[in-house]
Amino acid sequence: MLRWLLLLLAFVAAPAQADVFRVGDYAIQPGMEPGSFDLSASIPSVLASNHPLGLPEGCRETARERLNEATVTRYAISIDCDRAITAEDAIITPWAVDGGTFLSTATGTRVQQALQPTGDTLSLPIGAVAARQRALPEIAVEYTWQGIIHILGGWDHLAFVLCLCLLARGRYLLALVTTFTIGHSLSLALAFFDIVKVPVPPVEAVIALSIAFMAREAIRARAEDMADPHRRRRQLAVVAGFGLLHGLGFATVLRELGVAPDERLSGLLFFNGGVELGQLIFVGCVLGVMKLAAIFDRDQWVRQAALYGAGIVGCFWMIERVAGFTLGTA
């Protein structure tokens, strides 16, 4: 049974995505003719469609170009308006992104801000003459939620935490998760403020490697070995190092959200808090599943299946990512 499960995991790993966070980049500027505007949009290709924009009254779309580039689709859209743009005017985009950055010079003033969707649409405030100043509670809710979304949609980060949950229990599990948290919180802050700059593709490859490594560590772990203080110190050091790498991945996502300059510190703190909250939710779910499996005397089977599955997927992601950036630089 376990053999067939492993074969199934190896088969389904190919279409799996390590990170499902989808961000769009939008910009609008005046066109060559009076009353005309040029809108550019870059979105994940999986969300691309030719659905029309929701335009302000008196405006119409006159041309659209679409360019597909691997995982990103770029649009260049021409818009004509028979009246002046007002502060209330907005364009409604039809692509279901998780968030977006928007740069507008439509009113003659450069305005850049981060935007959040409403349902499956995103509203671009083309008439804004300044980025809206937001209250701290609004910032807290937004970035905490984004942190939760990211960690619960980041399969590579969850796979690593899963291995930690299946490696240890009790106080030692708390120590491992806390060490991982400290590591990725530190590197998240350093990378977000550009104190540390590391190329993303190699980091993503090593993150995948960390999953395979911790899965192997948990599979080989024996009760008598886990009581060894020297072994515990080594594992804590390894988890701290991998935590630093995972934090660099979190920083990439936070940058893509286009955090406003005056929200950088608060955005970082609440985003990191959301990541930790989502991580705690996941740990609780894993422990709950293992308790349930133990009732039916299937906890060891579930543990082995999950660890072998995580290890296989981690190896696949590592090979995929190494091949991706190696071929990309060849």
Going from N- to C-terminal start, the domains of the chain cover: 23-132, 137-329
Mean per-residue pLDDT, 263-276? 91
Distance between CA atoms of residues 280 and 256, nearest Å: 24
Closest CA to 41 of 100, 84, 85: 100
Query: Across all residues in the chain, what is the average pLDDT?
Result: 85
Distance between CA atoms of residues 11 and 325, nearest Å: 23
Q: Over pLDDT 90: what percentage of the chain?
A: 46
pLDDT of residue 280: 94
Give pTM, 2 decimals.
0.72
pLDDT of residue 11: 42
* pLDDT tens digits for range 93-132: 999 888 788 888 887 777 877 788 888 889 999 887 655 6
Mean per-residue pLDDT, 280-291? 94
- Residue 84 backbone phi and psi in degrees, to 5: -75, 150
Q: Which helix (H) or strand (E) holds 91?
A: strand 91-93
Q: Which residues, 6+ apart, have CB-to-CB distance to 89 below 8 Å?
A: 56, 125, 126, 127
* pLDDT tens digits for range 26-56: 999 888 888 899 999 998 888 888 899 999 9
274, pLDDT greater than 80: yes
Higher pLDDT, 256 or 36: 36
CA atoms within 13 A on the CB side of 206: 17
Locate tokens 């992104």: which residue? 97
Asked if 63 and 77 count as a contact pair (C-beta separation under 8 A), the reply is yes
Mean per-residue pLDDT, 165-180? 93
Bridge partners (DSSP) of residue 79 are: 37, 61
1, pLDDT greater than 50: no
Asked if 198 and 257 count as a contact pair (C-beta separation under 8 A), the reply is no
For strands 111-115 and 99-104, give the pairing: antiparallel
Q: What is the CA radius of gyration of the chain?
A: 23
* pLDDT tens digits for range 143-162: 898 888 888 888 889 999 99
